[in-house]
Amino acid sequence: MSLKNTNKVETNLYEIEFDADKATFDAAVEKVYRKEVKKITVPGFRKGKAPRSIIEKMYGKGVFYEDAINEIIPNAYESAIKEAGLTVVSRPEFDIVTIDDNGVVLKAKFYVKPEVSLKEYKGFKVTKTVDEVTEENINQEIEMVRARNGRIVDVTDRAVENGDLAVIDYEGFCDGVAFDGGKAEKYELAIGSNSFIPGFEDQIIGHNIGESFDITVKFPEEYHSESLAGKDAIFKIVLHGIKKNELPELDDEFAKDVSEFDTLDEYKADIKAKLVSKNEKSAENAVEEQIINALIENLEAEIPAPMFESEAENFVRDYDSRLRMQGLDLQTYCKYTGQTLETLREQFKPMAERQVKTRLALEKIVELEAITASDEEVEAEYENLATAYGMKAEEVKKYVEADAVKADLCVKKAVDFVKANAEVTNA
User: Per-residue pLDDT tens for 407-421?
Assistant: 999 999 999 999 999
> CA of 23: how far to CAs of 28, 315, 417, 422, in Å?
9, 43, 52, 59
In which band, very low, low, confident or very high, does the pLDDT at 93 lie, cut at 50, 70 and 90?
very high
Asked if 25 and 18 count as a contact pair (C-beta separation under 8 A), the reply is no
> CA of 251: how far to CAs of 152, 343, 370, in Å?
20, 52, 57
Q: How far apart are CA 305 and CA 353, in angstroms?
A: 9
Q: Is the pLDDT of residue 8 over 70?
A: yes
Average pLDDT over residues 83-95: 95
The angle formed by the CA atoms of residues 284, 285 and 288, to the nearest 5 degrees, is 90
CA 293, distance to chain mean position in Å, is 21
How many C-beta atoms surround the C-beta of residue 133 within 10 A?
Answer: 18
Asked if 182 and 236 count as a contact pair (C-beta separation under 8 A), the reply is no
What does the DSSP assignment read for 258-285? HSS-SSHHHHHHHHHHHHHHHHHHHHHH
In the chain, pLDDT over 70 holds for what percent of residues? Answer: 100
What does the DSSP assignment read for 193-242? S--SSTTTTTTTTT--TT-EEEEEEE--TT-S-TTTTT-EEEEEEEEEEE
249-277: pLDDT as tens digits: 999 999 999 999 999 999 999 999 999 99
Question: Which domains are assigned to the chain?
Answer: 2-113 (3.30.70.1050), 151-246 (3.10.50.40), 264-426 (1.10.3120)
Average pLDDT over residues 367-381: 96
What does the DSSP assignment read for 283-326? HHHHHHHHHHHHHHHHEE----HHHHHHHHHHHHHHHHHHHHHT
172-213: pLDDT as tens digits: 999 999 998 899 999 999 999 988 999 999 999 999 999 999
Average pLDDT of the chain, as a whole number: 93
Q: Is the pLDDT of residue 28 over 80?
A: yes
| Short-list 21, 23, 30, 19, CA closest to 96 | 19
280-296: pLDDT as tens digits: 999 999 999 999 999 99
* pTM to 2 decimal places: 0.76
64-82: pLDDT as tens digits: 999 999 999 999 999 999 9
pLDDT of residue 216: 96
303-329: pLDDT as tens digits: 999 999 999 999 999 999 898 988 888
